[in-house]
Structure 1
């Protein structure tokens, strides 16, 4: 028997589809801490631990922190930001690397959104540059990818203030992959940074769908063969 759809039904379906598309945002941020095993190889393999921590400091101010601890080097990275349900808006970004196996490095970025500028202070040398709306820092964009995936977004393109320059980071969704982790088997969305065909660098991230797109694995390879990898070991929520 042929099924006939009433014109009013078509209109209702259109309205429902519109509601679904607009309901992609806002996304709820949930304070949490995730711990990872970390490995670094540049001739000599180095192992350690890494921690991602997301906490809410006030009604609309958050802090996202990434720490790497190893016998050879320590990295402390953090961003203070505002969250409106859609976009990470950085306020200040801080980076510190130290250890006898690496060169020490410090960087601070202060974002002035009234003037759309960012003040860079790298190794004690300050300078400022203009930035567009929704520009991000080197740590905040990783959180923004997770939140955009949660919202069902497909276009993962970001303007990032990095090293005194404004860079465009574009990522493509490669599909899904089943991973065996310390937390059990998980279905992960695989995201890869888009680079030129001649580039020897590679950045790939795995986000667990059933865990609100928690980052469970990351592999970064530099042009000189330096390889960095983290894998999830534990995760828990934090009371607000």
Structure 2
């Protein structure tokens, strides 16, 4: 087991570009493993990236498999989403929908609606996973609070608000990691969500915890991480594994 995984990862990346990577996670409930998740970021064109998040969960008679994809541009430190899709299968109703952000005409469209969604446009829109990239960029600049407007498939606006609540060294399958602890702010105390980002790993999301009414729903812990782009140090991928 690595004593400090972050110290082994390169952080001198190409200026103005995002780190391309693949991160693997264990999904836990009450300390027991009930699934796995993979987060991957790729550059697909100039200033254009694709973020995917794929998870599989099995717990008693419950199952959930989902894949989310976000395509966005990244310029001057700002993430601008253009296309989001989500496919979910398992226990309960399946879901499959797409949302497009037309920045030129300033409209949002959904595969579940024949017409553009009735929502007031803002250049600050994020989709359901692109905001996570923007949080990382904010943390790099030393920001301590974040607020993002998201639009769901019906055109409803949901404001996601976060604040930095401290620093913490946490034990993970990859070793002990120094992190910045970020809490999501809800309108009430019934739900809780906390995320840990590792500065020495280019502010990667290394752990996430969600609960409701004080009871844990699930926890996600990074178990491996690979940089998938050339860096100023070496052109080879840099794996960090258990």
Q: Return the TM-score normalized by structure 2.
A: 0.79
Aligned to 1:205: 195
Whether 2:175 is the aligned partner of 1:184: answer: yes
Q: Which structure 1 segments of 5+ residues have no match?
A: 1-25
Checking the alignment, whether the CA contact within 8 Å between 1:131 and 1:166 is kept in structure 2 is no
Whether 2:66 is the aligned partner of 1:79: answer: no
Matches within 5 A, 1:209-228: 209-222=199-212, 227-228=217-218
Over residues 89-124 of structure 1, what are the superposed CA-to-partner deviations in whole Å (9 max), with x where a residue is unaligned?
00100011101x2321122110011222211234x7
Aligned to 1:31: 20
Corresponding residue pairs, total: 209
Q: Return the TM-score normalized by structure 1.
A: 0.79
Q: Which structure 2 segments of 5+ residues have no match?
A: 1-14, 231-242
What is the alpha-carbon distance in structure 2 between the residues aligned to residue 70 and residue 174 of structure 1? 29
Whether 2:171 is the aligned partner of 1:173: answer: no
Rg larger in 1 or in 2? 1
Aligned to 1:118: 108
RMSD, aligned CA: 2.3
What is the alpha-carbon distance in structure 1 between the residues aligned to residue 152 and residue 134 of structure 2? 16
Aligned to 2:48: 61
Aligned to 2:237: none
What is the alpha-carbon distance in structure 1 between the residues aligned to residue 50 and residue 195 of structure 2? 21
What is the alpha-carbon distance in structure 2 between the residues aligned to residue 169 and residue 48 of structure 1? 26
Q: Which has the higher helix share?
A: 1
Deviation at 1:150, TM superposition (A): 1.3
Deviation at 1:224, TM superposition (A): 10
Runs of 4 or more above 4 Å deviation: 124-127, 222-226
